[in-house]
Amino acid sequence: MAVLDGLNPAKVFHYFEEICGIPHGSGNTTAIADYCVKFATDRGLKYVRDEYNNVLIRKRASVGKENCEPIMLQGHLDMVCEKNFDSDPKFDFTKDPLRLAVMDDYVYAKGTTLGGDDGIAVAYMLAVLDDNSIVHPELECLFTTDEETGMIGMAGFDASIVKARKMINIDNEKEGEILVSSAGGRKVKCHVPVRYKKGSGLSYDIIICGLLGGHSGAEIDKYRGNANLLMGRLLHFLSGKVDYQLYYLKGGLQDNAIPRESKASVLLDPKDATCFEDLITEFEMTVINEYRQIENNITIYCEAGDLTEERVLTPKTKERVIFLLMTVPDGIAKMCPESQSIVQTSSNAGIMRLRDDYFSLIISIRSSISSEKEALSEKLKFLTETIGGEYIIESDYPAWEYKERSRLRDMVVTAYRELYGKPAHVTSIHAGLECGIIYDKVNGMDIVSIGPDIEDIHTPKEKLNISSTERTWRLLLRVMEMCD
């Protein structure tokens, strides 16, 4: 018996469980694209698959809807892969199926992210395509790839094959909220060259963990701690108080996830061990106090190892690395003047790695104003190059701009009120959505973004609300029925 048997809508949860059994992290979407192609082939549906593993599946209009304008449903196939290392360090996102469970009104995955972002969109689209009783105009269901790593699939998608001029993106995580615009973004890498020398001493691992993390667009306004930058601050705090040599530095897993954990490894004179440990404790107390209303589980500690020899960073190199971590802009840069509840511009230092020949900091920049995105990018470039580093732009995507007139938005607002007797919340989001790219590629595309409640996305605490999934399903069906 499947874990999600008995949940409604039955077909939606059936397909959600099916895709959770297929590894589909960003950059690993071949198998799930194969699944979509087989799904279409088995049902005699026309499809197009491109070199990016994007899959577009078409379905003819239902009886009575043949003369209506076609509509596109869209979501992405990939998911963010985060896990609790202490619960199952051997879990492999490239091989292992997600371990689903149900508790109360929620579906979650044991010890890992669930991939409700954006697996639920995939499940909705497959359920629509598989049900001939649903009333709808001609459908184009677009399954895109690598959204979480720079919207690579949508960026490469040939939109000239698209017939629809209305699109429902299903990548929102808040029921009753209708998104009508989103921020543009840029993923950048700051590479600082490093040099090593031989070092010896007592080894210590420094660990920062227990932070809430979260989506760097949706949760950036909650001022949660960034484990990478806290580690940089801690290393700076130790400098001048105790002599240590740095040889390992790592934190974060995704550029668009606020990093929850980071680790550094150092060598020091054994006589400084007690002082070192006391300083770690002092720093932990300081950070806990600063984040007392935001984070409730911050843990900063050190573990002593053995006397050993390692390749350690030269003093000048260590200084440059810490300088970057101490000065890089992070978090909210500016709120929207029109609505102080919406972030206009931000950045997130999501991944840091110390390699053999360079230190890398990967940052996600977001802004609904293209000039501010460019200005923040230039600031990071100037900072990186000033300390002898290389600045690399990995990906860039445009903002999805608000349309004064939107027939589709009006239909969704009307449908929501009819179904639930209350108004929907029409708003914008600071997170980047693929809507911006398709809006830029297809002239006149009318777009809205909807979705069920998903909590703590991009973290192992992620959970999908079951009853919200059903209500959003009913909304989707009603909007397709209303299309003319």
Q: Give the DSSP letter string of 429-458.
A: EEEE-THHHHHHHSTT-EEEE----EESTT
Q: Which CATH architecture does the domain made up of 10-171+433-482 adopt?
A: 3-Layer(aba) Sandwich (3.40)
- Residue 280: φ, ψ to 5°: -60, -45
Q: Encode pLDDT of 226-270 as tens digits.
A: 999 999 999 999 998 999 999 999 999 888 899 999 999 999 999
Q: Enumerate the domain spans of the chain.
A: 10-171+433-482, 188-397
Catalytic-labelled residue, pool 17, 140, 146, 147: 147
CATH 3.40.50.300 matches 188-397: no
Decide if 303 is catalytic: no
Q: Percent of the chain having pLDDT more than 70?
A: 99
Is there a catalytic annotation at residue 147? yes
> 18, 78, 118, 175: which is the annotated catalytic residue?
78
Give DSSP secondary structure letters for 452-482: --EESTTSTT-EEEHHHHHHHHHHHHHHHHH
Beta-carbon count within 10 A of 100 CB:
19
pTM, two decimal places: 0.75
The DSSP bridge partners found for residue 361 are 190, 352
Q: What is the helix, strand, coil percentage profile of the chain, to 5?
A: 30, 30, 35
At 119, the pLDDT band (50, 70, 90 cuts) reads very high
Flag whether pLDDT at 326 surpasses 70: yes
Q: What is the pLDDT of residue 87?
A: 64
